């Protein structure tokens, strides 16, 4: 489907209106009028884009301000913004690859944090044997905070089973949990604790729940300073400064939208009976299904959801996204069609 405007809770295709339950604008910030006004004012101050190296002699104050705020928000020593979440992941993996480390990845890990020579964390549902041997070595484990087709955070109890001979760096992609999970939408990063960990690194897109252009890396000072000196970072433009300022000025709107999203998920949880064809957890704004039956049934009733083949999955998946902007009537309509077709 080709549309001529940003898809919010409704989209128009060939002159016909559809309810829209797709995308990743979980908090509905992309079409929030008050937030758009804040962005407009920020654009007047910082311009439409700043195409210069972050390490140049002229530095924009908003970068330090945003990164300082965000590191406090996440509970990390420091943070670094880049132009996209994918770039954040690639920068981290490329930097870690310069050391003699062995990479392991959790099943279905996003390609942005998947090293070319990475080994599977599990084999036949058991921890990879190399992780339990007595060889002293540095390892990197990459994992999504919430995997595609899942509605609950990834469990990290596997860390306890890893040999004490391993120096573990954990890289967590929070792109689909940041802004949603946690008391203030800070995600799950701060809750991952283990004596086995040498270092934790978080990467994320800012373009989903937060509705911003850019990505972020958060960790300890030493690691972030190392990334800051990498040629790719030095030679690339930074995240859009106007959007970073808009985020700080719009914090009250984020909280308001989070409350609306929570209200929508609580309502849907009350009216939607559990079905075997899809997964739903009221703490997370996505219903997942492997069934094309659901996608086709909803489309027939003028409801569009996301359907695509994820790079690390074999089959197509149907993704029903609930946002802060959906109305009670929208959710009732979704429930009616899902109930009738299960």
CATH number at residue 191: 3.40.640.10
- What average pLDDT does this structure show over 117-129? 96
Q: Are 235 and 265 contained in the same domain?
A: no
202 within domain boundaries: yes
- What average pLDDT does this structure show over 91-120? 95
Q: Are 286 and 235 contained in the same domain?
A: no
Examine the pLDDT at 322 and tell me if it is beyond 90.
Answer: yes
Instruction: Give the confidence band of 332 by pLDDT, cuts at 50, 70, 90.
Output: very high
Q: Are 56 and 148 contained in the same domain?
A: yes
Q: Are 150 and 70 contained in the same domain?
A: yes
Place of tokens 């530095």: 59
Residue 305: strand pairing partners: 21
Over residues 173-191, the pLDDT tens digits come to 999 999 999 999 999 999 9
| Domain total of the chain | 2
Angle between helices 61-74 and 241-249 (to 10 degrees): 50
Range of the domain at 309: 10-32+251-340
User: For all residues of the chain together, what is the average pLDDT?
Assistant: 93
Q: Percent of the chain having pLDDT more than 70?
A: 96
Instruction: Give the confidence band of 77 by pLDDT, cuts at 50, 70, 90.
Output: very high
- Nearest CA to 151 out of 298, 315, 268 is that of 268
41 within domain boundaries: no
- Nearest CA to 140 out of 110, 118, 111, 157 is that of 118
Question: Which has more confidence, 40 or 147?
Answer: 40
Q: Are 201 and 266 contained in the same domain?
A: no
Q: Are 87 and 230 contained in the same domain?
A: yes
Q: How many CA atoms lie within 13 A of 127 on its CB side?
A: 13
Instruction: Give the confidence band of 15 by pLDDT, cuts at 50, 70, 90.
Output: confident
Over residues 236-275, the pLDDT tens digits come to 999 999 999 999 999 999 999 999 999 999 999 999 877 6
Examine the pLDDT at 334 and tell me if it is beyond 90.
Answer: yes
As given in the structure block, the two tokens for residue 277 are: 């064809």
End-to-end CA gap in the chain: 26
As given in the structure block, the two tokens for residue 155 are: 């469990």
Sign of CA dihedral 160, 161, 162, 163: positive
Examine the pLDDT at 14 and tell me if it is beyond 90.
Answer: no
Q: What is the pLDDT of residue 278?
A: 79
Q: Are 137 and 275 contained in the same domain?
A: no
297 within domain boundaries: yes
- Phi first, then psi, for residue 75 (nearest 5°) are 80, 35
């Amino acid at each position: 489907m080709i549309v001529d405007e940003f898809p919010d809770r409704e989209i128009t295709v060939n002159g016909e209106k559809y309810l829209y339950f797709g995308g990743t604008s979980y908090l509905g910030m992309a079409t929030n009028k008050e937030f758009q006004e804040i962005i407009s004012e920020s654009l007047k101050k910082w311009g439409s884009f700043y195409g210069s190296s972050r390490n140049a002699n002229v530095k924009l104050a908003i970068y330090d301000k945003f990164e300082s705020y965000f590191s406090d928000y996440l509970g990390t020593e420091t943070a670094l913004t880049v132009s996209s979440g994918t770039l954040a992941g690639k920068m981290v993996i490329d930097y870690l690859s310069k050391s003699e480390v062995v990479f392991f990845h959790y099943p279905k890990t996003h390609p942005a944090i998947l090293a070319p020579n990475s080994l599977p964390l599990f084999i036949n549902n058991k921890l990879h044997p190399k992780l339990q041997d007595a060889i002293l070595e540095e390892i990197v484990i990459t994992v999504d905070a919430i995997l595609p087709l899942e509605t609950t955070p990834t469990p990290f109890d596997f860390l306890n089973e890893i040999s004490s001979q391993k120096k573990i760096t954990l890289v967590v992609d929070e792109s689909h949990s940041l802004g949603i999970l946690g008391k203030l939408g800070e995600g799950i990063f701060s809750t991952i604790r283990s004596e086995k960990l040498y270092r934790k690194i978080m990467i994320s897109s800012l373009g989903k729940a937060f509705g911003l252009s850019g990505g972020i890396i958060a960790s300890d000072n030493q690691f972030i300073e190392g990334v800051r000196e990498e040629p790719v970072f030095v030679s690339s433009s930074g995240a859009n400064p106007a959007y970073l300022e808009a985020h700080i000025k719009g914090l009250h709107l984020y909280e308001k939208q989070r409350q609306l999203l929570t209200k929508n998920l609580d309502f849907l949880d009350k009216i939607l009976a559990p079905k075997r064809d899809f997964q739903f957890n009221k703490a997370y704004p996505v219903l997942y299904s492997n069934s094309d039956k659901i996608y086709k049934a909803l489309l027939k009733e003028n409801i569009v959801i996301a359907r695509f083949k994820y790079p690390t999955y074999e089959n197509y998946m149907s993704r029903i996204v609930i946002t802060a902007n959906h109305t009670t009537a929208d959710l009732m309509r979704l429930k009616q069609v899902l109930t009738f077709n299960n």
